[in-house]
Chains A and B, each alone.
Chain A
């Protein structure tokens, strides 16, 4: 909280503006507890309009670049209809109803990007105005429309008799950060595809837009490669049941696209590759003990030409399977002891003039991999370790800061070097914490470091991480939600309007109950209840 005050007291005008916003916002509170994450500008009145599921319609505006047949939006209408009217069933759809309270939501986009994938430059801005009998939702892109539909669905509420209402509302909204991610780790425990899809649903409710798929790691290699099927055959927990086939991957990507979510794959190397070695011989470095191979293996062997040939064809596949323009290359936590023990690696270092400087060897390796991926037109993201030991930092583009301690110092340092930053340190949600500690994930101020405007712009966003040592399908959802939603608001909303934990709490509590209503197993924030409790085990 102290940090926050330091940020806010610098200028007075924005505070007054923020206060005004709050007053306006609270005027609408008697009807609906609000939207999560909070829109940038929201005004609403006590004027309420009834909504009737029989007569409610989504429609395209006359001048909209997208029209019926845009399957992405048509599917979104079907989804959001059921989210807006959770009690709706086909049976009561038969009833004759007076048509006097019909309501239409008109959608209009500037571009027809229905068939595209969301990307790092996609606009998610939208305007929503709700008035008598109709609402209009305008955006440059379909991605903005998706965000606006989510907002609209959160504005609708039911009275005690179950009738639906929405209040007169005007919203102008856009994300504060362009990159708002959730990392799932499918290597330490295999997550069934269904669990991933449901996570994507929940992500869209909080306006997350990047699924960072930490798909392989030391414990298992569930990605079934077209070019190297042995990798999952030998490296997965089970070659038939614990893998992601190409069609699974396509399904995840397409499901994510329909929700405006990018899929960012991570194939972490040279460390964290234990499982790769099982299906690809000579890829990992043989460790030595007293002059002879010990039988164990270390990181990827950077001294062999065959390594780079393998990586070139492997990443050629990966970059064609995953359409996003970013790829995560990992590069964290490389242990040098095995490299050090191996005489061939040492000889290679002599030849390259690295001496005994293993970080140089690692930098050499990573640079090769970065070159491979940029040849495939992808932007590389690496964990901060790579930045820390890299001398030629210009070869890098995006750095993900994950280490604890003064993470903003690191953000400052990376942006000073002119590189883009994704912040993850404060959002390691696999570390436990009763859910009431959601405030810990809320009171994060990603730009509260001394630096130029240009530096601040280089912070492209943040990411919630759910590492998998102690997480699988049995406990993923209550661990992730609604704590991740706290981070979502930090990444989407205006910081000045959302700096108070106390003010956010009732809105988050309400949002958590909405998640339950939508079948997301979101854990409780504190003592209390929801009208509709989670009805499974």
Chain B
């Protein structure tokens, strides 16, 4: 899915050195100037929100997060306690030097407490988020205490983020929050970001910073495209040779089991699922370096050419390997889903190989290599089924007519608007659940405010019944790694991915592009202030510019 020509998408309007600045004086066109939205800097916009005019003050010296009486997650819930500390830091800019003067009497319009209450019997504090997690919450900000209610900790995390977004500084720099009521839940259950750690190795620090930013945007799935043709940085306990031979460097460019654990836990603490992708049978060049006989030897004429193609689907050893490998993967990654890839399989190598030809004849596949692909995928799906995981596959697997379990998730990535809409209609009319990524390939860049087109795409815009629409469980923004590494990943992803975040979280009718511009500008400055190098939307400034150079 990386074959799409990037340069074809460069929409260069090259007449003036200042791009959009032309003719401004002519037409009384107003430069986009950030104006205050009535929703402040909230992003993504909650489903229901009422902000009053009553400003309440917060002081770092008195304010605290507390666990409400009767909450099913108390002080022992370290997930919440860590979140309190995080959001205290975000709101008040780190722990205050001065002593906490709890004895000071709070003023009449001072908010001293946010009471957090988890209402369902199982708070899920020690669990992992899943596609069925309840992420809803209710927030009521009023004196003397604000109350955040959520059935589970996952909703509470989102509520804390919203609470922190409501806090602003008045003209004297005092932390202020208006009396507010919020009732909120996500429109889609699966709201993901794909990062590619194969084409360029992404240091753990970068992954963690992006999980942190995902939480600020209420994303809940980190789709980790961890290996591919170019390198195999995943250090497998069962098959250490894979990264030993297949990583860019066997020590400095690998993810050890403890790295992976750290990423998963860091994500869990922010309500984010980690879905690993081990893409086969194509996109597997790096696997072949550490695992003999896994890939198909290509032939040139009657002799092996020395190069290798996709995974060899005709050997029993292949399936033995896959069984053991996916057993490990299913143990290491707690999420209920694993992404199996299955895209862009090139048949030329299979075609060249005489053993494969014989096998095809024996199986009665004739010249139809997609049948061979199906053969492989079905065996793989059987293997993964035994690990009790659900699976996600790229759309080609569906397009090629592979028999799938009814609960398979099909990931749409190809095509222009018309094409992906047709694909979504086709997949849902066949009764499968689906995820959309086609309009959200953020590795493609163009001049100007391309977040707007990202923002306008809607996963349920296709011809189909209500039932079909319900099968759309969300989408993912993808940042493929050919031209992306630690140096440019974060500014390329944010705030462009934020546009996707709002589309997937907020109500369908939240489409006012001007209001979005105003809120998103403020949201991006907040990310910058929190240390994330999120790039600008247009000529503008943030009160606190990025300092991390």
Contacts and interface: CB of A to CB of B under 8 A. Distances in A.
A202 to B, nearest CB: 11
Nearest to A384: B17
A534 B200 CA distance: 11
A533 B377 CA distance: 36
Contacts of B547: 192, 194, 473
A537 B482 contact: no
Q: Is the interface of B mostly helix, strand, loop or mixed?
A: loop
Contact of A433 (B7, B25, B31): B7
Given A533-B201, A533-B203, A534-B485, A337 B26 contact: yes
A52 interface: no
Nearest to A241: B543
Interface of A: 188-190, 192, 194-195, 198, 218-220, 237-238, 241-242, 272, 287, 296, 298, 332-333, 335, 337-338, 383, 402-404, 428, 431-437, 465, 467-475, 477-479, 516, 521-529, 531, 533-537
Given A524-B483, A537-B209, 13 more contacts: A189-B539, A242-B545, A287-B25, A337-B25, A469-B19, A472-B535, A474-B534, A475-B492, A522-B487, A523-B483, A529-B200, A537-B486, A537-B531
Given A192-B547, A296-B25, A467-B18, A434 B482 contact: yes
B302 interface: no
Contact of A474 (B19, B23, B485, B533): B533
B72 interface: no
Contacts of B540: 189, 219
B491 interface: yes
B199 A537 contact: no
Interface string B519-537: 0000000001001111111
B25 A298 contact: yes
Contacts, number: 180
Given A404-B15, A472-B546, A526-B483, A537 B10 contact: no
A517 B365 CA distance: 53
A441 to B, nearest CB: 14
Contacts of A470: 447-448, 535-538
A259 B275 CA distance: 48
A407 to B, nearest CB: 11
B253 interface: yes
Interface of B: 6-7, 10, 12, 14-26, 28, 31, 199-201, 203, 205-206, 209, 230-231, 248-249, 252-253, 445-448, 481-488, 490-492, 528, 531-541, 543, 545-549
The 5 A-B pairs with the shortest beta carbon distances in the complex, nearest first, are: A478-B488, A474-B533, A475-B491, A237-B541, A529-B248
A470 B26 CA distance: 23
B283 to A, nearest CB: 13
B541 A534 contact: no
A469 B535 CA distance: 11
A523 B203 contact: no
A275 to B, nearest CB: 11
Contacts of B15: 403-404
A533 B485 contact: yes
Contacts of A242: 541, 545
Given A432-B10, A529-B201, A468 B546 contact: no
B17 A333 contact: yes
B206 A537 contact: yes
Given A220-B541, A434-B483, A474-B546, A467 B7 contact: no
